[in-house]
A = this chain, B = another copy of it.
Amino acid sequence: MPDVQDLVDSYIASWNETDPDRRREIISATWTEDASYLDPVLSGDGQDGIDAMIAAAQEQFPGHRFELSFGPDIHHERVRFAWKMYGGDGSRPVAAGVDFGTLAEDGRLRSVTGFLEQVS
Protein backbone atom coordinates (compact mmCIF):
# COMPACT_ATOMS: atom_id res chain seq x y z
CA MET A 1 0.00 0.00 0.00
CA PRO A 2 1.67 3.24 -1.11
CA ASP A 3 2.40 5.98 1.39
CA VAL A 4 0.01 8.90 0.88
CA GLN A 5 2.83 11.38 0.43
CA ASP A 6 4.34 9.12 -2.25
CA LEU A 7 0.91 8.69 -3.82
CA VAL A 8 0.31 12.44 -4.09
CA ASP A 9 3.87 13.00 -5.34
CA SER A 10 3.16 10.43 -8.06
CA TYR A 11 -0.13 12.12 -8.86
CA ILE A 12 1.66 15.44 -9.40
CA ALA A 13 4.42 13.65 -11.34
CA SER A 14 1.83 12.16 -13.72
CA TRP A 15 0.71 15.67 -14.71
CA ASN A 16 4.34 16.60 -15.44
CA GLU A 17 5.42 13.41 -17.23
CA THR A 18 5.26 13.95 -21.00
CA ASP A 19 6.72 10.58 -22.01
CA PRO A 20 3.56 8.56 -22.84
CA ASP A 21 4.83 5.21 -21.56
CA ARG A 22 6.23 6.57 -18.33
CA ARG A 23 3.09 8.65 -17.73
CA ARG A 24 0.83 5.65 -18.26
CA GLU A 25 2.99 3.62 -15.85
CA ILE A 26 2.69 6.28 -13.16
CA ILE A 27 -1.08 6.45 -13.69
CA SER A 28 -1.45 2.69 -13.30
CA ALA A 29 0.41 2.83 -10.00
CA THR A 30 -1.51 5.90 -8.77
CA TRP A 31 -5.13 5.33 -9.81
CA THR A 32 -7.46 2.35 -9.60
CA GLU A 33 -8.78 0.85 -12.84
CA ASP A 34 -12.23 2.39 -12.20
CA ALA A 35 -10.93 5.78 -11.07
CA SER A 36 -12.41 9.11 -12.09
CA TYR A 37 -11.25 12.70 -12.15
CA LEU A 38 -13.50 15.76 -12.36
CA ASP A 39 -12.75 19.47 -12.11
CA PRO A 40 -14.55 22.51 -13.53
CA VAL A 41 -13.00 22.06 -17.00
CA LEU A 42 -11.48 18.57 -17.24
CA SER A 43 -12.73 15.04 -16.67
CA GLY A 44 -11.41 11.54 -17.15
CA ASP A 45 -12.75 8.07 -16.42
CA GLY A 46 -10.55 5.03 -15.93
CA GLN A 47 -6.78 4.93 -16.26
CA ASP A 48 -6.95 5.41 -20.04
CA GLY A 49 -9.37 8.32 -19.76
CA ILE A 50 -7.25 10.02 -17.12
CA ASP A 51 -4.14 9.48 -19.23
CA ALA A 52 -5.83 11.03 -22.27
CA MET A 53 -7.05 13.96 -20.17
CA ILE A 54 -3.55 14.70 -18.88
CA ALA A 55 -2.05 14.34 -22.37
CA ALA A 56 -4.57 16.88 -23.68
CA ALA A 57 -3.78 19.29 -20.84
CA GLN A 58 -0.08 18.98 -21.59
CA GLU A 59 -0.73 19.81 -25.26
CA GLN A 60 -2.75 22.82 -24.21
CA PHE A 61 -0.12 24.06 -21.75
CA PRO A 62 3.25 22.97 -23.16
CA GLY A 63 6.20 23.35 -20.83
CA HIS A 64 4.05 24.00 -17.78
CA ARG A 65 4.75 22.19 -14.53
CA PHE A 66 2.66 21.32 -11.48
CA GLU A 67 3.96 21.53 -7.94
CA LEU A 68 2.35 20.46 -4.68
CA SER A 69 1.67 23.57 -2.57
CA PHE A 70 -0.23 22.12 0.42
CA GLY A 71 -0.73 18.72 1.98
CA PRO A 72 -1.48 15.94 1.67
CA ASP A 73 -3.92 16.09 4.59
CA ILE A 74 -5.57 12.71 5.12
CA HIS A 75 -8.13 10.96 7.33
CA HIS A 76 -10.25 7.83 6.74
CA GLU A 77 -9.04 7.26 3.15
CA ARG A 78 -9.99 10.83 2.24
CA VAL A 79 -7.25 13.20 1.15
CA ARG A 80 -6.89 16.82 0.19
CA PHE A 81 -3.96 18.73 -1.20
CA ALA A 82 -3.28 21.85 -3.25
CA TRP A 83 -1.17 22.51 -6.32
CA LYS A 84 0.15 25.35 -8.40
CA MET A 85 0.93 25.28 -12.11
CA TYR A 86 3.94 27.22 -13.31
CA GLY A 87 4.35 28.58 -16.82
CA GLY A 88 7.22 27.96 -19.18
CA ASP A 89 9.57 30.38 -17.46
CA GLY A 90 8.76 28.84 -14.05
CA SER A 91 8.89 32.13 -12.21
CA ARG A 92 5.32 32.45 -11.00
CA PRO A 93 2.19 30.28 -10.91
CA VAL A 94 -0.36 30.73 -13.68
CA ALA A 95 -3.01 28.46 -12.14
CA ALA A 96 -3.76 26.90 -8.77
CA GLY A 97 -6.23 24.48 -7.29
CA VAL A 98 -7.32 22.21 -4.48
CA ASP A 99 -7.94 18.51 -5.00
CA PHE A 100 -10.10 16.27 -2.86
CA GLY A 101 -9.58 12.54 -3.28
CA THR A 102 -10.83 9.20 -2.05
CA LEU A 103 -8.53 6.19 -1.73
CA ALA A 104 -9.26 2.57 -2.53
CA GLU A 105 -8.38 -0.25 -0.14
CA ASP A 106 -5.11 -0.82 -2.00
CA GLY A 107 -4.10 2.78 -1.34
CA ARG A 108 -4.52 4.05 -4.90
CA LEU A 109 -6.74 6.97 -5.84
CA ARG A 110 -10.33 6.04 -6.67
CA SER A 111 -11.61 9.57 -7.30
CA VAL A 112 -10.34 13.11 -7.37
CA THR A 113 -12.48 16.25 -7.51
CA GLY A 114 -10.56 19.39 -8.35
CA PHE A 115 -11.49 22.99 -7.61
CA LEU A 116 -9.71 26.03 -9.01
CA GLU A 117 -8.28 28.74 -6.78
CA GLN A 118 -7.34 32.33 -7.37
CA VAL A 119 -3.69 32.44 -8.40
CA SER A 120 -1.53 34.17 -5.83
**Chain A contacts to B: CB under 8 angstroms:** 38-40, 73, 75-76, 78, 80, 98, 100, 113, 115
Given B40, B76, B80, which contacts A98 in the complex, CB threshold below 8 Å? B80
| A100-B73 in contact given A38-B78, A78-B38 (Cβ < 8 Å) | no
Q: List, in ascending order, chain B residues with CB within 8 A of A75's CB.
A: 38-40, 115
Chain A interface helix/strand/loop/mixed: strand
Is B38 in contact with A80, judged by CB distance below 8 angstroms? no
Is A115 in contact with B73, judged by CB distance below 8 angstroms? yes
Copies of this polypeptide in the complex: 2
Q: List, in ascending order, chain B residues with CB within 8 A of A40's CB.
A: 75-76
Closest chain-B Cβ to A72's Cβ sits at a distance in Å of: 11
Is B76 in contact with A38, judged by CB distance below 8 angstroms? yes
15 example contacts (A-B, Cβ-Cβ < 8 A) are as follows: A38-B75, A38-B76, A38-B78, A39-B75, A40-B75, A40-B76, A73-B115, A75-B115, A78-B113, A78-B115, A80-B98, A80-B100, A80-B115, A100-B100, A100-B113
